Amino acid sequence: MVQTGMPPQKDTKDAPEDAGSSQATADLLADAGHATQESEFFNPIPPGYQKGRHKYVVVLGTVMSGLGKGIFASSLAKMLKDKGMTVAPIKMEGYLNIDSGTLNPYRHGEVFVLDDGLETDMDLGTYERMLDQNLTRQNYTTSGQVYKHVLDKERHGGYLGRDVQMIPHVTGEVKYLLRDLAVKQNADVVFVEVGGTVGDHENAFYIEAVRQLAFEEGEGTVCFVALTYVIEPPALGEQKSKAAQLGLKKLLEAGVQPHIIAARAKNPVESSAAQKIAMFSNVPLHRVFSMHDRDSIYTIPDAMRQAGLDREVLTMLDLHSRVDQGHEDRARTNWQSFVGKLGGERKYKARIGITGKYASLRDAYASIDKAIEHCGAHLSCDVETVWLDTTRFEPDQAGEKLKDLDAVIVPGGFGHRGTESKIACVKYCRENNIPYLGICLGFQMAVVEYARNVVELPEAASTEFEKLSEAPVIDILPEQKKIEGLGGNMRLGGKDVLIQPNTLASFLYKPDADKPFTIRERFRHRFEVDPKYIDELEKAGLVFSGRHPKQPIMQVLELPAHPYFIGAQFHPELTGRPLHPQPMFMGLVAAAIRQHHRDTELASINNRWLAPAKPSSAKVQ
């Protein structure tokens, strides 16, 4: 019998009070599956989960946001991947949005689209580039997604009559998510990046979940990394570690003892600051890593290796036996060759203009910036990017703005503002043989410009801006929406594009192709070329060299008589990788080099991009 006011008597095996005392109890909890009225715990384990097989590195931020947790996590993940291990990163965002699709790039940086169509934040781009690996919706979550899942499950009776609580249910779902990712992506190591800063309300349940995960999985399975910030007030001229100490203390209060600290700072962290950080957070000095500002994030993996960080993680997580030395040597050689080019002297120069509404915020175009950085390194070109805010100049000023540029990109965008000036930029590039790359909106603007000024349809427009246009060359096409079968009306994610041989596009992607071939690129748009104008546009000289394999959706355009004029309805910047630079960007940077050095003989250079064989129908100068 249970006395009133007393806790029920239980067999000690089931007693939550004893749960913390032994590994065996933790195992038992883990095996318990869904909670019932008899258990205080909720700890479902995905089928096929092998305890001890999967390890975790959890990266948390203290002091302030924006420290580069994603950069740290992806650099460390890359080092383990290079050693032959399978890594699976996951970014856990604190905000309540279900995805990043509705976020303003001013506040949040660009929306990065995964191959499976999920709209995520720009950090996923960093992971894909650093790891040279496509990610999926399993590699990203938000508090909104977690809560939505919990609420939907509650409505379907998934919690078996229990009152649904932050702990154990929400935390239990988070742990499930992480373990499920480990199983589904067969990960040796899952890299968990907790968004925001320790102390935020939004991410507190994530931190509690990873704390529990570490406890349940046992010693040697979860490695906690804390990013922190060392201030260097200009008036003092020395580094101060107090904010870092306080931030780390907050993490300790949450029950998490970090194993590694990455101290962000403007300059290399001095030993006095590092010692204080080590001392006040119980982390040995050799695991306090100075992550100071650098010219390129791609040098971080090498800096980590020099600091011995990868070996520390291997030891902590008992992973030495999984290292494939040959794999690591090969991966390192490739990476170092790229980093060498990145830091080396550049032979050429080029100035590339990028038009855009968010020109004041580089993060809004992070992937474009990176795609250019990769190509600059591969082509030994010092590329200067010039940001042009088209909302701040009139169409008739375009020539003045562009006259000193060697190439122009009109990137993706939404809304009417600045579009007339973008169209004027396209016209200037087309008429003056300035290399041009139009991305998504930039592709559509090129179609509108060509229709207005070459096909002589002066009313040509996109119905995104002019609903009642008499020549809606760019339009929403409902029948195509039906064919695509999308839930929303945005066409999202990776899709096949059929490329015609003997075109500039085929020269860029597959120079030896003699028949049509497909490439896969990522889309994020609602509007497209209205098929009824295709014939007219093509007769006037515009070539649609890339199309949907089955439907009349135009995906790449080019102008054969121009040195480099190409547009893509997709976003080529999203698939640019350091070791696999994106072909359309390579072509653009090469064309910009030729434009910049037009008075110098470059033909002697033995480089496919700079001294290319001409494709028969599309000249590459």
> Strand locations in 356-411, DSSP E?
381-388, 407-410
- What kind and span of H or E run contains 121? strand 119-121
If the CB atoms of residues 64 and 103 are measured against ligand GLN, the closer one turns out to be 103
Measured CA to CA, the distance from residue 161 to residue 226 in angstroms comes to 38
Distance in Å, CB of 519 to ligand GLN, minimum: 18
Of 47-55, 307-315, 354-362, 409-417, which segment contacts ligand GLN by CB under 6 A? 409-417
Q: Is 427 in the site for ligand GLN (CB under 6 A)?
A: no
Q: Is 438 in the site for ligand GLN (CB under 6 A)?
A: no
Of 202-210, 230-238, 447-455, 521-529, which segment contacts ligand GLN by CB under 6 A? 521-529
173, 208, 464, 521: which one contacts ligand GLN (CB under 6 A)? 464
Distance in Å, CB of 362 to ligand GLN, minimum: 18
If the CB atoms of residues 206 and 570 are measured against ligand GLN, the closer one turns out to be 570
61, 105, 376, 413: which one contacts ligand GLN (CB under 6 A)? 413
If the CB atoms of residues 526 and 619 are measured against ligand GLN, the closer one turns out to be 526
525, 547, 548, 594: which one contacts ligand GLN (CB under 6 A)? 525
263, 366, 441, 447: which one contacts ligand GLN (CB under 6 A)? 441
Measured CA to CA, the distance from residue 577 to residue 609 in angstroms comes to 17
Half-sphere exposure of 484 toward its Cβ, with a 13 Å CA cutoff? 24
527, 544, 570, 609: which one contacts ligand GLN (CB under 6 A)? 527
Residue 440 designated active-site: yes
DSSP 490-558: SEEEEEEEEE-SSSHHHHHH-TT--S-EEEEEEEEES-EE-GGGHHHHHHTT-EEEEE-SSSS-EEEEE
Measured CA to CA, the distance from residue 208 to residue 202 in angstroms comes to 12
If the CB atoms of residues 52 and 488 are measured against ligand GLN, the closer one turns out to be 488
Distance in Å, CB of 408 to ligand GLN, minimum: 16
Measured CA to CA, the distance from residue 115 to residue 147 in angstroms comes to 25
CB atoms within 10 A of CB 244: 30
Q: What is the size of the binding site for ligand GLN (CB under 6 A)?
A: 10
Q: Is 526 in the site for ligand GLN (CB under 6 A)?
A: yes
Task: Exactly one of 374, 525, 548, 571 is catalytic; name it.
Answer: 571
Q: Which of 253, 314, 254, 263 is nearest to 69 (CA)?
A: 263
412, 418, 578, 615: which one contacts ligand GLN (CB under 6 A)? 412
CB atoms within 10 A of CB 339: 18
- What kind and span of H or E run contains 316? helix 309-316
Q: Which of 610, 556, 606 is nearest to 588 (CA)?
A: 610
Measured CA to CA, the distance from residue 305 to residue 76 in angstroms comes to 9
DSSP H helices, 101-162, are 105-108, 122-131, 143-155
Q: What is the 3-state secondary structure (H, E, C) of 366-379?
A: HHHHHHHHHHHHHC
Distance in Å, CB of 415 to ligand GLN, minimum: 7
Distance in Å, CB of 110 to ligand GLN, minimum: 10
Site string for ligand GLN, 43-62 (x = CB under 6 A): --------------------
Q: Is 414 in the site for ligand GLN (CB under 6 A)?
A: yes
Q: Is 346 in the site for ligand GLN (CB under 6 A)?
A: no
Q: Which residues are known catalytic residues?
A: 440, 571, 573
- What does the binding site for ligand GLN look like in residue numbers (CB under 6 A)? 412-414, 440-441, 464, 524-527
